[in-house]
Amino acid sequence: MTHEIRHLINGQLLAGKSGRKADVFDPNTGAVQALVPLADDSEVDKAVAAAKEAFPAWSALNPQRRARVMFRFKNLLEEHMDELAELLSSEHGKVVADSRGDVQRGLEVIEFACGIPHLQKGEYTESAGPGIDVYSMRQPLGVCVGITPFNFPAMIPMWMFGVAIACGNTFVLKPSEKDPSVPVRLAELFVEAGGPAGVLNVVHGDKQAVDALIAHPDVKAVSFVGSSDIAQYVSITAAQNGKRVQAMAGAKNHGIILPDADMDQVVADFLGAAFGSAGERCMALPVAVPVGQKTAEEFIARIQPQIEKLRIGVSTDPDVHYGPVVSAAHKARVEHYIDMCEKEGGKLLVDGRGFSLPGHEDGFFVGPSLFDHVKPGMQSYEEEIFGPVLQIVRADTLAEAAALASDHQYGNGVVLFTRSGHAARQFAASVQVGMVGINVPIPVPVSYHTFGGWKRSAFADTNQHGPEGVRFWTKIKTVTSRWPEGAVEDQSFIIPTMG
């Protein structure tokens, strides 16, 4: 018997009422392990109404009290780390240690959000004019919405609701329907931490729920993370409906290897960053760009045998490097891109197609693949594969390598491996990509900095978390005030100046 996952609305777990459901798989076995309800418009209305009702009291609470709820929530995340990580792995397929990292990265945003009394402070100018003081305040927006992808079911919801709620907003989260259980557990823990009913709601669904949320007249802001075409659609539609919107999207990150790089480190970093989590990370490193033929030959000679030795297995096995991909459809998509790259002239050095794990023949496993001689213009290079596939694009100079990353349609992350501070500094300043690593293979910024890509990796404006997150989830109000004593000055028909 499969169990049915529930929405969490107004502090209560609720069964779906629409009659529409989707399967949630165990990617290790391919079996359906649960059903997730897909909300209709009335269920979305209910979640938004709960958030709207909770807003006046929550936003009026002083920021230290809101921070205290965040502190308690953070403590509960730590207490429940193992449970959350195991639940996450069971639906996503990433190995449990990696799921712990997923929860931990979200927890770090909650730690950041605990500083909200300081972060949300406005500014003050005394005597901006005669007897005139000016101050600004950052006020919450109201009911906010987060729509999240399958690949970080703990971290990405917390990027959004952690900061939004700390700022005094109330929230409706629409998590991925592929691995919806962890987001519900997060909301339950938030309620246990003292989060009032209606402040954080989780409503499951697909396009219908997303469309209802981004058009809802009571929703003030929408944060989306997912694939690029849908991110673009959500950003345009939500903006047309008058919402503040941010939409993070797909990626194809390049790792450039200069001849002076530490090759031991490069190989170790690429193994983890290209194949960890079966390549299902928007900050994965699926393109290697060795500069110079000698660098390319050395890189291949060193990494190929290591790729052939990678251990793929069930997500609960602590000795494997990566587990299954999320669904049968995604496995087919990744294998389709391997076929495509081969047909386009990529030289297949390691072939991950047709991988089968004994005892788990129906699991969604994909072996690791390595291609050499991949070139710009190939569809398999221009598009995101989001699987355990590393493509090598050879370059003769750093300028040529950097141009590959700068000219690519995606601009999420890029990495330069080098020992040259000068080359690194020039590269970081000029490359047309939002997040840059220098000898750091997955340059996901820490929670008190900010996360966001460029080009088709992010639509609309304003990054996730850090001070940018606080700006996204608040609106600024500026007050110019004077308290005259005695007679009021004469009327004036000219624009007031401080001159």
Please name which of 353, 335, 316 lies closest in space to residue 29, comparing C-alpha atoms.
316
CB of 57: closest distance to ligand NAD in angstroms?
A: 29
Q: Which residues contact 265 (CB under 8 A, 6 or more apart)?
A: 417, 439
Length of the chain: 499
> What is the torsion angle, in degrees rounded to the nearest 10, for the CA atoms of residue 261, residue 263, residue 269 and residue 271?
140
Judged by beta carbon, residue 10 or residue 412, the one nearer ligand NAD is 412
What is the C-alpha separation between 407 and 456, in angstroms, rounded?
11
Residue 276 CB, shortest distance to ligand NAD, in Å, is 14
Give Cα 367 distance to the centre of its chain: 25
Report the interface residues with ligand NAD, using CB under 6 A: 147-152, 174, 176-177, 206-207, 210, 225-227, 230, 248-251, 282, 384, 386, 412, 453, 457
**85 or 225: CB nearest ligand NAD:** 225
**Closest listed residue to residue 278, CA positions, set 409, 444, 92, 410:** 92
Q: 474 by DSSP, 3-state: which?
A: strand
263 near 393, Cβ under 8 Å? no
Buried b (16+ CB within 10 A) or exposed e, 123-143: eeeeeeeeebebeeebbbbbb
Do 498 and 128 form a contact (C-beta atoms < 8 A)? yes
**C-beta of 226 vs 276, nearer to ligand NAD:** 226
Residue whose C-alpha is closest to residue 355's, from 317, 386, 396, 310: 310
Q: Are 55 and 169 in contact (CB under 8 A)?
A: yes
Closer to ligand NAD by Cβ: residue 251 or 378: 251
Rounded Cα gap, residues 74 and 122, in angstroms: 26
Question: What sign results for the dihedral spanned by CA atoms 424, 425, 430, 432?
Answer: positive
The token duo for 247 is: 């939409």
Which residues are catalytic, by number? 282
Residue 413 structure tokens: 């992350």
The whole-angstrom separation of Cα 123 and Cα 405 is 39
Decide whether 140 or 466 has the Cβ nearer to ligand NAD: 466
88 strand-pairing partners? none
φ/ψ of 455, rounded to 5, equals 55, -135
**Of 149 and 195, which has the nearer Cβ to ligand NAD?**
149
Q: Which residues contact 377 (CB under 8 A, 6 or more apart)?
A: none
* Least distance CB 326 / ligand NAD (angstroms): 8
Report in angstroms how near the CB of residue 451 gets to ligand NAD at its nearest: 6
**Smallest separation (angstroms) from ligand NAD to the CB of 435:** 9
Closest to ligand NAD by CB, 74 vs 456, is 456
In the complex with ligand NAD, which residue's Cβ is closer, 26 or 102? 102
Residue type present at position 395 = A
Q: How far is the CB of 176 from ligand NAD (least distance, A)?
A: 5
Tell me whether residue 25 or residue 150 sits nearer to ligand NAD (CB atom): 150
**Alpha-carbon distance 160 to 140, whole Å?**
14
Sign of the torsion formed by the C-alpha atoms of 292, 286, 251 and 201: negative
Closest residue to bound ligand NAD by CB: 226
d(CA 36, CA 204): 7
Beta partners for residue 423, in sequence order: none
